[in-house]
Amino acid sequence: MKTDKKEVLTLAALIAVLPPLWAVLSPYIGISVGPVALICAGIYATNGNKFRDAHKIALGYLAGDIWALIAYEIMAHTPLNADLTLFLTLAVFGFILVLISSKWPGIIHMPSWLTGWAIGMLAMNLDKTTPVLSLTVQIAVAMLAGVYYVGALLDKIHKILNK
């Protein structure tokens, strides 16, 4: 039982320090969407904190971010009805996303691609003041911080502390 208590306490301490540190520092490096890292770390953790999957999870997020940018641009510049455009864009992109990620599951992580796409679209639709290309880069940095800093690094430190 002491091992379980130690694991919980070290995890609690790391969660109390590393994610808040990112939250405080991210605006100072030009990232207005810092909380995205916490969402992305959640998918990494849900996948079992497997570092061997970190790269395909990160690639999924980045693909989702690019997918969101393309979808945003299509929806912003189409002459069609907004609801029809939204439906068609989501349907076609979702269909293609599933086909691509199913074809190469060892390279790209479908859940992180879907999540990254949703995160990107949400941020791009809520933030109308930041240039969309800048926002796309900020989202990507926050996603990578979520996988590698909040997810993988935190897990690695946790394992070291509990040896």
CA distance 27 to 65: 19
Q: What type of residue sits at position 55? A: H
Q: What type of residue sits at position 77? A: H
Based on the number of CB atoms within 10 Å of its own CB, is 22 exposed (0-12), middle (13-18) or buried (19 or more)?
Answer: buried
Q: What is the pTM of this model?
A: 0.92
Q: What is the pLDDT of residues 47-68, one digit of tens each?
A: 999 999 999 999 999 999 999 9
pLDDT (average), residues 69-84: 93
SS3 assignment, position 128: coil
Q: What is the pLDDT of residues 84-131, one digit of tens each?
A: 999 999 999 999 999 999 999 999 999 999 999 999 999 999 999 999
What pLDDT is attached to residue 84? 94
Q: Which of 162, 149, 155, 163 is nearest to 58 (CA)?
A: 149
CA distance 145 to 58: 9
22, two tokens: 């990112």
69, two tokens: 């940018």
CA distance 115 to 53: 16
CA distance 49 to 37: 15
